[in-house]
Structure 1
Amino acid sequence: MADNDLLAGDAAGESWQHTTDFTQAEMWCGSALYPHQRLFQLDDPKQFFLRQRIVDAGPITISDITFGADVRMDCGSFHGTYHVNLPLSGRIQSEHRGTQVVIDPTRAGVYIPDGDTSLPLWGAGSRQLCVKIDRLAVEEALAAQVEYGSAPVDQQLLLSPSLDIARGAGRDWAQLVLLLRGQLARDDGLAREPLIARPLVDALIHGLLLATDHGGRAALAEEPVAAAPAAIRAAVDLIHALPAEPWTTAGLAGRCFVSVRSLQEGFKRHLNTSPMAYLRAVRLRHAHEELRAADPALVTVTSVATRWGFANLGKFAAAHHALYGENPRETLRRAR
């Protein structure tokens, strides 16, 4: 499933950690995953090495890890995070809460915060992204999607122990992880901007809830009830008052005391749009006004677009032209 474009930027640099010393590797790997875990060599020590890079954004940490020789990893029984091992190459044996899973580039391993966890065999040269998501962030994300008045959902989600990443929602979620990891690995990546990073993180967490099987799926399947006009007005007021805030649909819904899906349904019914589309329209107007007032010698279209949360410059230019009849560069050239 590795995509060459999404894996771009893998050239060695200061952000990579590389060692052939086993003690050093165990310490580094513990800092990336869990401090109490144990690592055991199963192969020729002369072939051993660890190569890893750690990036994080808010409640998500993504560790890109490769071992040069077969190892076994015991992770203990308490981790405090939901966790997905997303393989890029090779083969890894996994056991979590008594369930065994073979992880390869078609299937990821999924782990909940509690329960004995081990990787009896992490094959030589096998590379995987270890995605940790804070427990509270996942459980709050589910609570934000469930309709008020619905049957309560178990606090700790019993996620299915594996995820098919070769097709469907699982593959889409894996691609999103690769995108976020690639952006965070670059000092100039757009995900360094809060307006872009927060919606990506939010999408990754909510996407995991939609891609995996768990006890909360029944609640998510319930038909959403459109939020009342008062809640829609409150969300619209927040957007206009704080357009530069890194809003997500979940953030707006929480401030308006409705579920995510109720807010989405309410915007669709009353405004014929979505909360994020409405937000983009407001930000587009602010970006246009900034371009009109900017000094072309000091400001670029890219800097303005990025500041207002537009990660794709082509789509920004197209939306700007559709609304204002000219591309952003023309607006900037005419700026006073």
Structure 2
Amino acid sequence: MNTKVPTAHRFDSSDPDTISAFLTGAYGTELIMRSTERYRLRHHRIDAGAFWLETVEQTTRLDIDVGPIEALMIGQVVSGRVDRSCAGVNDRLGPGDVFLAAAPGLPFSMHWRPGKLVGCVLDRSVLTKVTGGTADDRAGATRFTGLTPISPGLARLWRHTTSYLNHVVLGNPSAHRQPLVLANAARMLAAAALAVFPNTTAGWPTAMERRDATTATLRRATAFIEEHADRDIGAADIAAAAQVSLRALQLAFRRHLDTTPMAHLRRVRLDRAHHDLLLADPRQETVSAIASRWGFLSHSRFTARYHAIYGIPPSRTLHA
């Protein structure tokens, strides 16, 4: 997965040609903007490689035509109004609304009244890591069958997820140096997108997948997790190593361990963090640094989970 140290990019201009050139470069596709008035546009992006989180503000009525973008673009209206059209689907969106700008690979257009949007641009390779398959498997690739959330509750889930990542991950410079933290953040966004918007990944296990959910599958999967817990792996990688489908893997963990592959991976990483805390010098290490090393996004959640398993806070283990 393409993760990197997050970098901030800011743009602020009132020149239409400069704005159009900047946005075309920023999104890597043809972008045409029309307005009868002069206006100002501000753009702030945090680029973490596999995903971007950004804020865009502008001061007039804009008509925007955007060429095909392969990444998944998810927006939220903070203020103003947006009329978005893609493949014959038209939506009128107001403050608080969450939406897909377009199905990946399709062009779209927007009529945007003065206001502010926050957005997420997610590399489709992250979806592949979560759902399984390969980047070249067009037939089996996830297709989004709707451009608005399945329910208001799931729209809230998306808002909470992006707010959490902005504050806990991107707002924590020490986490920027930990590849597992950023990889887990990208997976969290992908999982949220798949939960929030209607798509083709849902389905019941087949008869073959139920037959594959054996203890032998579980042994292969847990051995792979033990060996690769320090790397950027997800359920799709574990399924490939176990030589079964993603649904068969999930069924095997549910049937034999009453858990999920990712929950088991988090438990293994918690055990590795516990081991590091036992061996660490408290004058040189911190609980937060060790938690981040093992991919835990939130220090408070790590502490609560550690206390629930080991009966003491991680700080006591470190200073024992």
TM range (shorter): 0.7 to 0.9
One-letter amino acid of the structure 2 residue matched with residue 88 of structure 1 = V
* Residue among 216, 231, 239 paired with 2:225: 239
Deviation at 1:163, TM superposition (A): 3.0
Unaligned runs of at least 5 residues, structure 1: 1-12, 146-151
Question: What's the TM-score, normalizing by structure 1?
Answer: 0.79
The partner residue of 1:222 within 192, 204, 216 is 204
How many equivalent pairs are there? 306
Shift in Å, 1:111 = 0.9
Q: Percent identity, aligned pairs only? A: 24
Residues 259 and 312 of structure 1: CA distance in aligned 2, closer, same or farther (over 3 Å): same
* CA-to-aligned-CA distance 1:109-133 (integer Å, 9 cap, x gap): 44123444211x2111x21134333
Give 3-state SS (helix, strand or coil) of 2:149's partner. Answer: strand
Change (3 A) 1:256 1:117: same
d(CA) in 1 for partners of 2:259 and 2:147? 36
Which deviates more, 185-194 or 15-24?
185-194
1:139 to partner: Cα distance = 5.9
Deviation at 1:289, TM superposition (A): 1.8
Q: How far apart are the structure 1 equivalents of 2:142 and 2:218? A: 31
Q: Say which SS state the counterpart of residue 92 (structure 2) adopts.
A: strand
Give the corresponding residue for 1:193. Answer: 178
Deviations 1:250-273 (A, max 9, x none): 221233232333222211211232
Tell me the residue number matched to 2:117.
128
In structure 2, give the amino acid aligned to 1:106: D
Q: What amino acid maps onto 2:62 in structure 1?
A: V
Alignment match, 1:21: 15
Q: How far off its partner does 1:144 sit?
A: 4.8
2: distance between equivalents of 1:160 and 1:14? 31
Distance 1:140 1:14 in 2: 25
1:40 aligned onto 2:29: no
- Partner of 1:230, secondary structure, is helix
User: Following superposition of structure 1 onto structure 2, how do residues 1-336 of structure 1 map, counting pairs within 5 Å?
Assistant: 15-43=9-37, 45=38, 48-76=39-67, 78-104=68-94, 105-119=96-110, 121-124=111-114, 126-135=115-124, 137-138=126-127, 141-142=130-131, 144=133, 155=141, 157=143, 159-163=145-149, 167-182=152-167, 185-186=170-171, 188=173, 190=175, 193-214=178-199, 216=200, 220-223=202-205, 225-226=209-210, 227-334=213-320
Q: TM-score, normalised by structure 2?
A: 0.82
Q: Distance in 2 between matches of 1:106 and 1:295?
A: 48
- Distance (whole Å) between structure 2 residues aligned to residue 127 and residue 193 of structure 1: 31
* Structure 2 SS opposite 1:239: helix
Measured in 1, the distance between the counterparts of 2:55 and 2:129 equals: 26
CA distance in structure 2 between the aligned counterparts of 1:155 and 1:281, rounded to whole angstroms: 30
Query: 1:32/1:183 Cα in 2 relative to 1: closer, same or farther (>3 Å)?
Result: farther
Distance in 1 (alpha carbons) for counterparts of 2:220 and 2:40: 55
Q: Which amino acid aligns with 1:236?
A: T
CA contact (8 A) 1:54 1:61 kept: yes
Query: 1:128 is matched by which residue type in structure 2?
Result: L
Decide whether the 8 Å contact of 2:133 with 2:140 is kept in 1: no
Shift of the alpha carbon at 1:185?
4.6
Let me know the Cα RMSD of the aligned residues.
Answer: 3.0
Residue 6 of structure 1 is matched in structure 2 by none
Q: CA contact under 8 A between 2:97 and 2:155: conserved in structure 1?
A: no
Alpha-carbon spacing, 1:258–1:60, altered in 2? closer, same or farther (3 Å): farther
